Amino acid sequence: MKPALLFLARFVALTAPLVWLWRAGGLSAYHALFAPIASAIYGWLGCEGIATPARDRYINFVPFLTLMLLTPRLRARRRFGGLALGLVLLFLLHVAVNATADRETQRLSALASLVLDAAPFALWIALAREFARGLLPRRRADG
């Protein structure tokens, strides 16, 4: 089996139970942490009154966590340091994107949703670039 397909199979196998855990209570636990911290950050920035709903899109922690745990040949410092940095950056992204939601409906724009969906993969590519580069097919230079 090609390395990319094997990696994808492992990714799906680990992501499925993590998604179940997220849906079974992870989002509620995250929201209990997120809401007071985000409200405090908004207060420090002078942006009072921004709602902090539990958004389904905050599930983007799951693919990032899975990718960082499954990436082979990452040194422990890169794996766990990158994981910590990435989780903090995703949290701050949640705070920032949440502030852009429509005040009446609390809906996110399509662009904000796209940013949230792409962020874990962009972070992973930045932190595991050597492995990610190896997953892409190589072009042969003619001549």
pLDDT tens across 3-12, in order? 778 989 999 9
Tens-digit pLDDT profile for residues 101-139: 998 899 999 999 999 999 999 999 999 988 877 776 666
Tens-digit pLDDT profile for residues 89-105: 999 999 999 999 998 89
Which pair of tokens denotes residue 32?
């209990």
**pLDDT for residue 132:** 77
**pLDDT for residue 2:** 80
Which pair of tokens denotes residue 90?
């995703």
**Residue 80, CB-side half-sphere exposure with 13 Å CA sphere:** 2
Other beta carbons within 10 Å of 48: 8
C-alpha R_g of the chain: 18
Which pair of tokens denotes residue 108?
């996110």
The predicted model scores a pTM of: 0.88
Rounded-to-integer distance, Cα 85 and Cα 123, Å: 9
